[in-house]
């Protein structure tokens, strides 16, 4: 369970137990490996890999290739020179990467010649590289920093961002493959998004990081965002309540919150379907979302 460890102004900054983060990332990596192996062994694997995703013009194959890039980024760059300067905070990372989607879209994609066996092998190799780092002394070093395109960041914090990436893209993968399987009339090799096996600590960390990013981007105490059982934050400028039930409350489940916060789900649609309950005249968060793409 992450514990508040410092304050930024009047807001507490959440910290994450490094050992739990490493264990969660290892478990989430194995879940992704299992899912991709199952998909690539499917009799209709080629057609499923060519199916579209909700990520612009990326196919399922492109998404899995990007997941390999996410997993082996730390192993490939761990020993790169680290620039001087104050390391990015977790919410700072979220802010600076918010508009990086266009650059990321130019990454390893549009490679229809890559066979299902090679797709699974690429993810296997990336997973093995990351798991080796997670089990080694570098990842356990609390002083270790790593260089990313936006500057230095503590390795322990950067591993939290890998939890967020793997959870978000696992949801993208489950949604795309499920939709493609239904369209093609074949058995779904993966679970539905709501049933996909997410590591609990990984899901909790992704939920909390996105909630904290909203609280920093829209500071205030007018609205209470509740994402049980993982997060409660105050946000949005306006009258702050001090006791009793807040006048403006937003509540949703972790996956819906993650989809809202990353632009996968529209606010109006989530409210209409009942996935989000919002009470109070200031409870409409649509103007503050997404916090990350």
Average pLDDT over residues 254-260: 98
Share of the chain above pLDDT 90, in %: 80
Q: For 126-175, what is each residue's pLDDT tens digit?
A: 999 999 999 999 999 999 999 999 999 999 999 999 999 999 999 999 99
- pLDDT at residue 4 greater than cutoff 90: no
Q: The pTM is what?
A: 0.91
Q: For 60-94, what is each residue's pLDDT tens digit?
A: 999 999 999 999 999 999 999 999 999 999 999 99
Task: Report how far residue 287's alpha carbon sits from residue 289's, in angstroms, rounded to the nearest whole number.
Answer: 6
* Per-residue pLDDT at 100: 63
Q: What is the mean pLDDT of the chain?
A: 91
Average pLDDT over residues 100-118: 67
* Per-residue pLDDT at 11: 56
Distance of CA 169 to the CA centre of its chain: 7
């Amino acid at each position: 369970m992450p514990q508040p460890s410092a304050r930024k102004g009047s807001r507490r900054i959440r910290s994450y137990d490094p050992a739990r983060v490493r264990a969660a990332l290892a478990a989430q990596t194995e879940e992704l490996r299992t899912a991709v192996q199952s998909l690539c062994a499917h009799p209709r694997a080629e057609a499923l890999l060519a199916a579209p995703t909700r990520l612009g013009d990326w196919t399922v194959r492109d998404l899995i290739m990007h997941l390999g890039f996410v997993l082996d980024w730390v192993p490939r760059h761990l020993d790169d020179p680290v620039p001087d300067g104050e390391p990015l905070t977790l919410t700072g990372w979220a802010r600076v990467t918010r508009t990086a989607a266009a650059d990321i879209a130019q990454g390893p994609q549009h490679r229809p010649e890559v066979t299902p066996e090679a797709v699974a092998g690429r993810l296997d190799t990336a997973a093995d590289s990351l798991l080796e780092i997670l089990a080694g002394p570098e990842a356990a070093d609390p002083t270790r920093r790593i260089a990313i395109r936006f500057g230095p960041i503590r390795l322990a914090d950067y591993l939290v961002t890998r939890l967020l990436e793997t959870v978000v893209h696992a949801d993208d993968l489950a949604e795309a493959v499920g939709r493609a399987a239904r369209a093609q009339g074949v058995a779904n090799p993966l679970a539905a998004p709501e049933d996909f096996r997410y590591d609990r600590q990984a899901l909790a960390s992704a939920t909390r990081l996105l909630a904290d990013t909203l609280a920093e981007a829209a500071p205030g105490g007018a609205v209470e965002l509740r994402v049980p059982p993982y997060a409660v934050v105050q946000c949005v400028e306006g009258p702050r309540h001090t006791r009793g039930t807040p006048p403006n409350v937003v509540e949703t489940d972790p996956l819906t919150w993650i989809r809202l916060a990353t632009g996968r789900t529209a606010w109006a649609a989530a409210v209409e379907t009942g996935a989000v309950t919002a009470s109070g005249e200031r409870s409409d968060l649509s103007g503050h979302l997404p916090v990350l793409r």
